[in-house]
Chain A
């Protein structure tokens, strides 16, 4: 397909506003400000069925619709650029190769929802993205795309970048808003949702970078163009992140619904060193694992959920047959134990406990009963918490144990890891 979100990726200096304008940036904004009312913009996004690219796939048009429109309240737009899900690096590519597309999308979204301030909550480690975004925002202001009276339309809007402090949980919508508001990044109890009580307790829309980047294209080319890609209810271009055991890791733009098999074999160029595929975490580390037999599945929201996993952030983590699944499982578990915000009892204690059990199994200190115990702990966490982090820990851990149980049993039986790999110890958890 013709690249949309990555169209400027290989253009030199594409982050510079003049080059970007030469490539069509801010055309959509001009169209919006001269020829479209906010409801018309909203309708276009609604008609396109633009589903959120942050993981949950909730339609952006609906999210905007649920926003409290009380004229006495201040509305905010927040762009979720925390991108901390292991295996996910698509938003960074957008911000570092086409920041103006994101800025334009945010201005248009603000226009549609009657907000006058947008915040980009940026992952702390993305220093380069921060430099590029700040420069791009300054240039956009100089060009009259940001600030008071944008392009003489009477519409005022500003965009601010806030750098996170390195917590995965701050990617969760309400934790992000707490953090932006100056508090500890703890997810809030829902309801109320951000649409009525968001940033600074005002109505707020939170959208992912990729979601917002789609908006100028939808406005410029129309909902029908957008719906020309993908399948029923899963439309548009999609960025896929390939990592792990593939020949050509990287970010690929393909129509929504490209199969996982095609992504690994064609885009990724297959598994290196003639090895065989063993397992995939298809939607970032929070998704349930698929085995080599299960990869012939379209990578869209509904198909992935039918396959027992999820599209999530489309961070495809590929593992070949040299991978110790116990080690992989432990690795994932350690991440969630480290990142649990500590608020809910099942998540705070459960993620840590499971990680320690898995660590013992991997080190050859597993005991009979450990595997089933780990599974019951997963059951006790699932669906029992304030945010979805605990579920995100259970999906990969439980599916890996279930689908590769024999490997876990062998670790326990032999009292050693059959892969014999040298372990790098992490300081995060006590032994």
Chain B
């Protein structure tokens, strides 16, 4: 492997990598606009010029492969002059409308102008103006803010493969645009607003909602399919305002899809359940949490004593966390109803694969694999094959259904019928549905953005989610509710916190680690059945 020197520091660079990548490894930052690690190299913005010994010109760090013995300088006056020149050129025809531009605060042009620019304009001519265009379901293009880095063009060609974006005209009139009659409406479109380094491509959904510096970012995982893209929840005052993909080579690369990106709306939706409800005289009425625990545990005990443990069934959704699944299975174990543990599978959709290898999986829930891993660990072998058979629950006297934000209409209706026929049906959920309508008791739970725990994606990557804020109103944490009910039945579980449950999982399940050990990019379970990550 070639050994090179950058700013007097030596590094053994990987064969075939560039000066930019070697510098990144050393923590030496070289500015970049057109370079994006998930795209091909364009080398057109010219901001990343560095001095290389024996080369008369500045060489572009993003496009120059490392060579044995190379001596690179990123901090000389010539390098700085080059950066200043590019900054000046880029601002000539730039509208500088930062006060009304959504990108302000996370704009690379703005940041570099402070770091590398002059702070003063020598330009006395009139700026070239270009129109704002509506170019897709969720995309606006403010063409005159564009710096022609061509990331968007390369993305549409290489990653989504839909090629809607192109370069039009020449010279200073060069403009990014969408081909006539076409819109950027594919399911990866949102990424274009993310990778645009300036406020040229913007999301309509996020437009003028918040200044970005008011947002807090919480690391999480997209719950909209079994890929489980690593994401950042950008939120303020208990509301999510947008989602962004978080780079994860084990899972999603640099991207996420628009199904997942818009899925956050459910978290702040007006339909969220906010109060515990119990049926009185046929009507669902609010009750207090202390009454909930006493009432629910009483009814469960009653069913067991009158009809036996086999009259009781437990159903858990594939959007529960592994830790929630563990608590739930433990409860079923304590009541002696493990044979009646069931998985509520996620919605199925079309599996969509894109040109660059990114996939949206057909299982549109985040944790079917994890929940199954947990349930199967506890269930008797002979009943495992019925783990997804919800029809076999007809006639059960007591049902405890953990349905999260599950929304597959078929299984919800099936469970609603079983619930209506049961003596007692307890439902944890996020939103009202025909199932909550049929329940004896409805407990408002937390959505993914409000809880802590881990998900296992379809390739066995175990990823941690973090809570961004508390559940709305009186909604509670499903984990605690199950724990309290178990306690009230008289069967305290051997752990009291999510972290302890996670440690327990790591001890019991093959290839699992505790939530602290997953890191930001997740833990790849070496024993998982499906190997390999989505390319991105």
Contact = CB atoms under 8 A, between A and B. Distances in A.
A189 B90 contact: no
Given A189-B41, A430-B125, 18 more contacts: A189-B42, A189-B43, A339-B170, A339-B171, A340-B172, A341-B170, A341-B171, A341-B174, A342-B148, A342-B170, A343-B44, A343-B174, A344-B44, A346-B85, A350-B89, A352-B171, A384-B46, A430-B128
Given A167-B170, A340-B171, A386-B44, A353 B148 contact: no
Summarize B's interface: helix, strand, loop or mixed.
Answer: loop
A354 to B, nearest CB: 11
B207 interface: no
B44 A337 contact: no
Contacts of B355: none
A348 B47 CA distance: 14
A395 B117 CA distance: 26
B124 A346 contact: no
A384 B82 CA distance: 8
B46 A385 contact: yes
Given A189-B41, A430-B128, A351 B171 contact: yes
Interface in A354-391: 356-357, 360, 367, 373, 380, 383-386
20 contacts: A167-B170, A184-B167, A189-B63, A339-B170, A341-B174, A342-B169, A342-B172, A343-B148, A343-B174, A345-B45, A345-B89, A345-B148, A346-B85, A348-B89, A351-B171, A373-B122, A380-B89, A384-B49, A386-B44, A430-B128
A348 B43 contact: no
A384 B169 contact: no
B70 to A, nearest CB: 16
A162 interface: no
A350 B166 CA distance: 22
B86 interface: yes
A346 B81 CA distance: 13
Closest 10 CB pairs of A and B: A342-B174, A352-B172, A380-B85, A349-B89, A189-B43, A356-B125, A340-B171, A383-B57, A343-B44, A345-B89
A115 B46 CA distance: 36
A383 B166 CA distance: 27
Nearest to B86: A345
B123 interface: yes
Report which residue of A169, A352, A360 has the largest number of chain B beta carbons within 10 angstroms of its beta carbon: A352
A367 B125 CA distance: 12
A345 B166 contact: no
B493 interface: no
A339 B169 CA distance: 10
A349 B45 contact: no
A338 interface: yes
A349 B92 contact: yes
Nearest to A353: B92
A340 B92 contact: no
A343 B33 CA distance: 13
B414 interface: no
The size bracket of the interface on A is 20 to 34
A342 B148 CA distance: 8
Interface string B173-216: 11000000000000000000000000000000000000000000
B345 interface: no
Given A184-B167, A384-B58, A337 B172 contact: yes
B93 interface: yes
Contacts of B172: 337, 340, 342, 348-349, 351-353
B8 interface: no
Contacts of B148: 342-343, 345, 348
Nearest to B147: A345
A350 B90 CA distance: 10
B85 A384 contact: yes
Interface in B32-78: 41-47, 49, 56-58, 63
A347 B88 CA distance: 12
A340 B125 CA distance: 19
Interface of B: 41-47, 49, 56-58, 63, 81-82, 85-86, 88-90, 92-93, 122-126, 128, 147-148, 150, 166-167, 169-174
B44 A349 contact: no
A340 B171 CA distance: 5
Nearest to B127: A430
A307 to B, nearest CB: 20
Contacts of B125: 353, 356-357, 360, 430
B57 A353 contact: no
A343 B46 CA distance: 10
A299 to B, nearest CB: 26
A385 B43 CA distance: 9
B535 to A, nearest CB: 22
Contacts of B92: 349, 352-353
Contacts of A380: 81-82, 85, 88-89
B170 A338 contact: yes
Nearest to A365: B124
Nearest to B82: A384
A186 B58 CA distance: 21
Contacts of A431: 126
Contacts of B89: 345-346, 348-350, 353, 380
Given A189-B41, A349-B93, A353-B123, A340 B86 contact: no
Q: Which of B63, B81, B89 has the most CB of A within 10 A?
A: B89
A210 to B, nearest CB: 27
A259 to B, nearest CB: 30
A397 to B, nearest CB: 15
Nearest to A431: B126
Nearest to B84: A380
Contacts of B88: 380
Contact of A340 (B46, B150, B170): B170
Contacts of A383: 56-58
Contact of A348 (B82, B85, B166, B171): B171
A342 B170 CA distance: 5
A6 B81 CA distance: 49
In this complex, which of B57, B81, B93, B125 has the most chain A Cβ atoms within 10 angstroms of its Cβ?
B125
A90 B43 CA distance: 34
Contacts of A353: 89, 92, 123, 125, 172
A357 B126 CA distance: 11
B47 A345 contact: yes
Contacts of A167: 170
Given A184-B166, A386-B44, A337 B171 contact: yes
Nearest to B166: A184
A348 B86 contact: no
A384 to B, nearest CB: 6
Contacts of B174: 341-343, 348
Nearest to A370: B124
Contacts of A346: 46, 85-86, 89
Contacts of A343: 44, 148, 150, 174
Nearest to B123: A353
Contacts of B90: 345, 349
Contacts of B170: 167, 169, 338-342
A168 to B, nearest CB: 9
Contacts of B46: 344-346, 384-385
